[in-house]
Structure 1
Amino acid sequence: MEGDDSAAGSSFGPLRYVQEVKQLYRHHLDRVTPQTRGRWLGFFVLQALFLTRVIAWGGWYAICYTLYIFQLNQFLAFLTPKFDMSLQQDERNNELEAGGAPDEQSEEFRPFIRRLPEFKFWYNVTRATLLALVMSVTVWTDIPVYWPILLVYFVALFMLTMRRQIQHMMKYKYIPLDIGKKRYSAE
């Protein structure tokens, strides 16, 4: 009988507290999921806070560089389709070369499915920004680097990767953002 009491007693200890914190965290995430504008506004406020911290105290450039490389990587995953269109096109070309009839489904509407959904994109970059903000509090993480080189390297990397992504979008004729898309209203 005492074994039963000790098992029940441990459920009220630190493990229960951790479970409650996880449940509360999940509850708040579920509440902010539909509020897209509010989430992104909060993210940009965190970004401004982090940049203000970096600029005002003049340090943590390595953390800043790492954060923005991670965010660039996440942004590219957000812009990239889940299914590689070049592989689908290669399969169609192989069927045509083998003597098959042209596939009538190739002109069929295929919705754009992202490799990284918008919520996961926001969640990942927000967590990374919070981590960078926390890391910028201590001097132990302020690694001395020559920041202009990091800035030039980041801009060059951004330009090259975005050029390649835009070329891919033009080649396979997809637009991952809602900018310029027609919206139909229910009348």
Structure 2
Amino acid sequence: MSFIESIDQFIINKTSNKVVQRWYVYTVLIVLYLFRVLLKGSHPLITYFLFIYLVHGFILWATPKSTKMPNPFSDDYEEEEAEFREAPDIDFGSGPFVRNMPEILFWLFCMKCTLIAFVLTFVPFLDIPAYTPILVVYFITMLIFTVFKLIEHSKKYNYNPFRSKKDKKFYSN
């Protein structure tokens, strides 16, 4: 195990039962990052790539870990979909919802990406000029497309990443 992996494991062990506190720390970090970038008016590409990575992490967190269904974002989705047409109803209600990336690893992924981006904002030659409105419009368009694709995939394969077994028990009463 490398030094960085051991640090990751130490952080996971110390924060595994402190879900709310973890996300508070991340919220403070992302607010500090945005405050620095907006106040300085620099590093639009680093910010753009940071949010692309955060969307990628969200996709991994929101999709189930299953070999029985195709990846909705792969290039050969239509070919894979043809292979899986025999059994499109995969029942995630009978067992726990296993994610591609567990919540604590999603948090760690977000923390690492944001910390790296924060450090990169101190490097002046990485402040590459870009027309920010185009980046914002492109990011929002990509985000909307991604969300609709995830919703379509979750409806087709009958899973909801935002409800747990506890919620089902609560709503059934």
Report the TM range for the smaller structure's normalisation. Answer: 0.7 to 0.9
Say how many residue pairs are matched.
Answer: 155
1:173 aligns with 2:152: no
**Higher mean displacement: 53-62 or 138-147:** 138-147
Q: Match for residue 71 of structure 1? A: 54
Cα distance in 1 for partners of 2:7, 2:68 equals: 40
Q: Match for residue 5 of structure 1? A: none
Q: CA deviation at 1:93?
A: 2.3
Identity of aligned residues (%): 30
**Higher mean displacement: 64-73 or 30-39:** 30-39
Cα distance in 2 for partners of 1:174, 1:133 equals: 35
Q: Match for residue 55 of structure 1? A: 38
Q: CA deviation at 1:26?
A: 4.3
Instruction: Pick from 3, 19, 28 the counterpart of residue 36 of structure 1.
Output: 19
Q: How does 1:38-187 map to 2 (within 5 A)?
A: 38-86=21-69, 93=86, 109-178=94-163, 181-183=167-169
Q: CA deviation at 1:138?
A: 2.4
Gaps of 5+ in 2: 71-80
Q: 1:63 to 1:182 in 2, by over 3 A?
A: same
Q: CA deviation at 1:107?
A: 9.1
Counterpart of 2:86, as a letter, is N
Gaps of 5+ in 1: 1-17, 95-104
Larger helix fraction of residues: 1
**Higher mean displacement: 143-152 or 107-116:** 107-116
Q: CA deviation at 1:134?
A: 0.7
Cα distance in 2 for partners of 1:167, 1:157 equals: 15
Q: 1:60 touches 1:142 (CA, 8 Å); kept in 2?
A: yes
Q: Equivalent residue of 2:168, what SS?
A: coil
